[in-house]
Amino acid sequence: MKVMVIQGPNLNMLGIREQQIYGPMKLEDIHRQMKAFADANGMEIEFFQSNYEGEIIDKIQECLGDADGIILNAGAYTHTSIAIRDAIAAVQLPTIEVHLSNIYRREKFRQKSMIAPVCAGVITGFGPFSYHLALVSMHQIFQEMQAIKAQQQAQNPQS
């Protein structure tokens, strides 16, 4: 099963920007840890980062037929992008929204997620560990999907 990890605006600046909020870990280090977990658990993983809303939408759409699930940190677009929300809804893949900081302890405008209603779940506030929790959650979703598929095949062996 394949997971696409999509990182939104300014996440390429992790380890540099506002370390008191986002911590000192760089995005590459987070991805390295995620890849190690994915490899150990038989999951394929791919990473993408863009500061442009349209590129994020394109990548979500490209996941259709190429990935089994999405882990998405849409950054500031979380709070503003109906277009990203619509792309997630359109592909109908399990998507987990991730945030390093606890968005509910931040400014009021950051406390509303436009994409949460179309996501399988939201993980927020655990720093880089948020990504690990998202990957563990996606692994569980994949196991449940495989169990349902096996059950359906057992009930309909000719299909």
What CATH number does the domain containing 109 carry? 3.40.50.9100
The whole-number average pLDDT for the span 130-140 is 97
Domain that holds residue 125: 2-155
Which residues in the chain belong to E strands, given as ranges? 2-7, 44-49, 69-73, 95-99, 121-124
Provide the pLDDT confidence category of residue 108 given band limits of 50, 70 and 90: confident
Provide the pLDDT confidence category of residue 114 given band limits of 50, 70 and 90: very high
Question: Can you give the pLDDT at residue 157?
Answer: 81
Total count of domains within the chain: 1
22 labelled catalytic = yes
pLDDT at 156 over 90: no
The whole-number average pLDDT for the span 102-112 is 82
Question: Can you give the pLDDT at residue 19?
Answer: 72
Q: Which of 77, 99, 131, 139 is catalytic?
A: 99
132 labelled catalytic = no
Q: Which of 22, 77, 131, 139 is catalytic?
A: 22
23-68 per-position pLDDT tens digit = 788 999 999 999 999 999 999 999 999 999 999 999 999 999 999 9
CB 100 within 8 A of CB 127: yes
Encoded amino acid at 24, one letter: P
Question: Can you give the pLDDT at residue 159?
Answer: 59
* Closest among 112, 108, 72 to 91, alpha carbons compared: 72
Residues 6+ apart with CB under 8 A from 132: 33, 34, 37
Question: Can you give the pLDDT at residue 105?
Answer: 83
